[in-house]
């Protein structure tokens, strides 16, 4: 992940240097963002129409400025590392014989086939990679809407876990090992909208999105609300048009995970045991900084990269086809 971030930084720096070599830049009316990028001036002859020309609505609002082709389909790869904090304690359910075998003094009074105990932790280190397909449309010169779907893959690591009720050094050692790496795999889908404004070569966007991940581990879900303001400038690199920008991302994560892990406890004479867990967590820091750039390879194809820095590190790369 960190190597990818270094690559993103290098590419962004190189793009900025190329930008500086060009003294003039074409203005653009529709501002770019990670969710929707502007396209170069249409190559169609004057008077020639496209089937998609019915969008955006109210084209007159853009004056005589060039507008991107209204529809887009693309692929996005996204990687992220951040620390999460617990919302309450971790609920653990295991066979009573397991708990009593680990610590007879702490758990000797427990009855029943299974028992529920609680634990806490300093933080949860989260690392996820997401592959998405995206469709979008400029419905107004200043409004782009989009939908995404794909898959998420990653892992959570519980840091400095300890038993709360009852306390037990042996049980603490067990859960530190059991929750060293908890896999995150599943499907993700969502939607969003981008408000855009530009004046000359300068532009600004406000991107809001909602995504939900249904994880393969039991009924676990991750709901993410994201708000990303960006400001940037358009220009040219040789014969290619593109943009560079800076911004920020506010990410509100509501993560509820339930599942189970399996541990080999033959050393305790307990064989293989299953421990079920129920935990809620959220992002430790909700804001980070963004730096990105994009290039229009042709009238229809656009590539973009973006890096996020701060308490949350992230990388985004996308390829979009507009029509």
**Residue range 251-285, pLDDT digits in tens:** 999 899 888 888 888 877 778 889 999 999 999 99
Q: Write the pLDDT tens digit of every residue in 112-131.
A: 999 999 999 999 999 999 99
pLDDT of residue 22: 43
Question: Mean of the pLDDT values across residues 37-61?
Answer: 67
pLDDT surpassing 70 at residue 42: no
Closest listed residue to residue 160, CA positions, set 107, 85, 106, 103: 85
Integer Cα distance of 54 and 146 in angstroms? 17
Strand, helix or coil at 175?
A: helix
pLDDT of residue 35: 44
pLDDT surpassing 50 at residue 46: no
pLDDT, averaged across the chain: 86
Q: Write the pLDDT tens digit of every residue in 127-175.
A: 999 999 999 999 999 999 999 999 999 999 999 999 987 889 989 998 8
pLDDT surpassing 70 at residue 39: no
With beta carbons less than 8 A apart as the criterion, state whether 25 and 38 touch.
Answer: no
With beta carbons less than 8 A apart as the criterion, state whether 224 and 211 touch.
Answer: yes
pLDDT surpassing 80 at residue 20: no
Question: Mean of the pLDDT values across residues 44-69?
Answer: 78
Average the pLDDT over each of 61-65, 76-80, 147-151, 296-300 and give the range with the smallest value.
61-65
As to burial, measured by CB atoms within 10 angstroms (0-12 exposed, 13-18 middle, 19+ buried), residue 264 is exposed
Integer Cα distance of 186 and 215 in angstroms? 4
Locate 238 and state its tokens.
Answer: 């040789």
- Give the number of residues written for the chain: 323
With beta carbons less than 8 A apart as the criterion, state whether 237 and 15 touch.
Answer: yes
Q: Write the pLDDT tens digit of every residue in 198-256.
A: 998 999 999 999 999 998 876 788 999 999 999 999 999 888 999 999 999 999 998 99
- Residue 6 phi, psi (nearest 5): -65, -40
With beta carbons less than 8 A apart as the criterion, state whether 22 and 237 touch.
Answer: yes
Question: pTM of the predicted model, to two decimals?
Answer: 0.82
pLDDT of residue 263: 87
Domain ranges of the chain: 2-322
């Amino acid at each position: 992940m960190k190597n990818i971030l270094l690559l993103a930084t290098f590419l962004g720096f190189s793009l900025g240097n190329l930008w500086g070599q060009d003294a003039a830049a074409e203005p653009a009316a529709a501002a770019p963002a990670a969710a929707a990028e502007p396209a170069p001036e249409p190559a169609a002859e004057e008077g020639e129409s496209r089937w998609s020309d019915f969008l955006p609505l109210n084209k007159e609002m853009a004056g005589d400025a060039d507008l991107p082709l209204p529809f887009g389909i693309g692929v996005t790869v996204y990687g992220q590392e951040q620390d999460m904090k617990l919302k309450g304690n971790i609920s653990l359910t295991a066979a009573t014989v397991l708990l009593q075998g680990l610590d007879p003094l702490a758990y000797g009074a427990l009855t029943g086939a299974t028992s529920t105990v609680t634990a806490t932790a300093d933080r949860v280190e989260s690392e996820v990679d997401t592959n998405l397909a995206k469709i979008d449309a400029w419905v107004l010169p200043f409004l782009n809407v989009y939908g995404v779907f794909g898959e998420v893959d990653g892992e959570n690591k519980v840091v400095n876990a300890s038993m709360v009720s009852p306390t037990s050094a042996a049980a603490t050692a067990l859960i530190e090992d059991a929750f060293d790496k908890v896999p995150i795999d599943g499907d993700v889908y969502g939607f969003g909208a981008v408000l855009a404004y530009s004046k000359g070569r300068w532009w600004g966007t406000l991107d809001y999105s909602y995504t939900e991940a249904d994880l393969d581990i039991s009924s676990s879900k991750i709901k993410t609300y994201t708000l990303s303001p960006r400001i940037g400038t358009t220009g040219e690199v040789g014969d290619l048009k593109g943009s560079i920008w800076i911004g920020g991302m506010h990410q509100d994560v509501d993560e509820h995970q339930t599942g189970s892990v399996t541990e080999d406890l033959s050393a305790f004479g307990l064989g293989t045991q299953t421990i079920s867990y129920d935990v809620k967590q959220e992002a430790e820091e909700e804001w980070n900084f963004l730096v990105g750039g994009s290039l229009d390879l042709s009238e229809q194809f656009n590539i973009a990269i973006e890096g996020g820095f701060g308490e949350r590190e992230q990388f985004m790369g996308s390829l979009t086809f507009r029509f």
